[in-house]
Amino acid sequence: MARASRNRERAARRGLMLVLSSPSGAGKTTLSRLLLKADRNVELSVSVTTRPRRRGEIDGRDYHFIDRPRFEAMAEAGELLEWAEVFGHRYGTPRRPVERALRAGRDVLFDIDWQGTQQLREKVRTDLVSVFILPPTVKELERRLKRRAQDSRDIIGSRMAKAAGEMSHWPEYDYVIVNRDVDAAFAEVRAILAAERLRRERQTSLSAFVRALQAKL
């Protein structure tokens, strides 16, 4: 498809904000990566964080790693759509890239926690589609956290302890997926996205389209 017509197609609807939340270790990061690879109309919202960079993480791709005074200045200046403290560090969503993407008809993927999702829900209700990912069992959650093993044993323990609290937020989400099998869970994420893109209110040029159809009858 020529670029011009692809752009016209994009502008024909407003982008949506797809939030994936879960306790750490439920597979949300894997699902996010798969989606970004499979769907070129989805871009990741890269958060700012005061947490130290882990091995293998790249500044600007995984997070923008910043210090606390810079974080506070951004929050104060209204440059963050939402922010929260998680495991003793601050995390926040820069506002401008999100607004730019939505206007261009692109969808934005957020890997944020329930606190951030609550704030987005209050601010941008109609653009938001929220999905909560649950692990199939506690044993599996623990196995995934250990396999990742990027954090010290203490941190893994505290993440396990927090998982129960985080999981209690599932009723606040539009959709819930139990991640028993990554391929099946990924197919479910794509099905949600496909349906949400077809919502009448997101298809901003529908009335002109239908008028043009009617004019030819």
List interacting residues with ligand 5GP (CB under 6 A).
Answer: 24, 47, 51, 82, 84, 86, 91-93, 111-113, 115-116
CB count within 10 Å of CB 35 equals 19
- Minimum distance, C-beta of residue 196 to ligand 5GP, in the bound complex (Å): 20
- Minimum distance, C-beta of residue 200 to ligand 5GP, in the bound complex (Å): 30
* Nearest to ligand 5GP of 54, 199 (CB atom): 54
* Nearest to ligand 5GP of 18, 202 (CB atom): 18
Spatial separation of the C-alpha atoms in residues 156 and 88, rounded to whole Å: 14
Give the residue among 67, 169, 72, 151 at the shortest CA–CA distance from 112.
169
- Residue 63 has which token pair? 């997070």
* Nearest to ligand 5GP of 148, 197 (CB atom): 148
Q: What is the DSSP letter of 171?
A: G
* Nearest to ligand 5GP of 19, 193 (CB atom): 19
- Minimum distance, C-beta of residue 35 to ligand 5GP, in the bound complex (Å): 15
- Minimum distance, C-beta of residue 116 to ligand 5GP, in the bound complex (Å): 2
Shortest-Cβ-distance residue relative to ligand 5GP: 116
* Nearest to ligand 5GP of 82, 107 (CB atom): 82
* Nearest to ligand 5GP of 9, 172 (CB atom): 172
Output the DSSP codes for 33-89. HHHHHH-TTEEE---EE-SPPPTT--BTTTBEE--HHHHHHHHHTT-EEEEEEETTE
Task: Show Cβ contacts of residue 202 under 8 Å, excluding neighbours closer than 6 positions.
Answer: 13, 14, 16, 196
Angle between helices 153-167 and 138-148 (to 10 degrees): 140
- Minimum distance, C-beta of residue 11 to ligand 5GP, in the bound complex (Å): 27
Q: Are strands 48-49 and 89-94 parallel, antiparallel or unpaired?
A: antiparallel
- Minimum distance, C-beta of residue 85 to ligand 5GP, in the bound complex (Å): 9
